[in-house]
């Protein structure tokens, strides 16, 4: 994905750069971004709470956290996610199927402003459901 993004960087309508920072340790100044976007990242980072804390730190006042992730299902899907995660994490490096992303967002000091849950995959795919959400730092 990094190569694909780099190829499109020159055509970006706004200034943008790609860094090698880890989500849990951003080398960016406090309050320096209008938005932080996590797309299929929080399932694989080693410490999602720390990554979300860094997102909050670099957001300017009034900034937004935008999230598109798969999350823990409910009922039998959640049980299957628990069973499959050890194998799944090897097939898709580091991916944890059952993380409670909404709780992590709240623990990091955000308020979920808008969220829509959808299920884009067939029933046999355990990386679902997915929320698309916008959160803002809690006052």
pLDDT tens per residue, range 69-99: 999 999 999 999 999 999 999 999 989 998 9
Tell which residue, 82, 81, 32, 41, has the closest CA to residue 59: 32
Query: Does the residue 15 lie in any domain?
Result: no
Task: Tell me the per-residue pLDDT of 27-66, one tens digit each, with 9 for 90 and over.
Answer: 999 999 999 999 999 999 999 999 999 999 999 999 999 9
Q: What is the CATH number of the domain that holds 46?
A: 3.40.50.150
Query: Does the residue 129 lie in any domain?
Result: yes
Total count of domains within the chain: 1
Query: Does the residue 96 lie in any domain?
Result: yes
* pLDDT at position 19 over 80: yes
pLDDT at 120: 85
Query: Does the residue 26 lie in any domain?
Result: no
Cα(106)–Cα(40) distance, integer angstroms: 18
Residues of the domain holding 131:
33-137
Indicate the pTM of the whole model: 0.87
Instruction: Name 77's Cβ contacts closer than 8 Å, sequence gap at least 6.
Output: 126, 128
Cα(56)–Cα(108) distance, integer angstroms: 7
Query: Does the residue 12 lie in any domain?
Result: no
Query: Does the residue 1 lie in any domain?
Result: no
Query: Does the residue 16 lie in any domain?
Result: no
Query: Does the residue 72 lie in any domain?
Result: yes
């Amino acid at each position: 994905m990094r190569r694909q993004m780099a190829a499109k960087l020159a055509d970006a309508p706004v200034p943008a750069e790609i860094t090698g920072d880890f989500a849990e340790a951003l080398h960016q100044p406090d309050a320096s971004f209008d938005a932080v976007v996590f797309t299929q990242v929080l399932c694989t980072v080693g410490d999602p709470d720390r990554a979300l804390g860094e997102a909050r730190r670099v957001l300017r006042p009034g900034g937004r956290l935008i999230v598109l992730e798969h999350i823990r299902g409910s009922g039998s899907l959640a049980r299957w996610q628990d069973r499959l995660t050890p194998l799944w994490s090897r097939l898709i490096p580091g991916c944890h199927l059952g993380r409670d992303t909404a709780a992590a967002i709240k623990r990091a000091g955000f308020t979920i402003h808008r969220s829509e849950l959808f299920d884009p995959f067939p029933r046999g795919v355990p990386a679902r459901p997915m929320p698309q959400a916008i959160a803002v730092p809690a006052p």
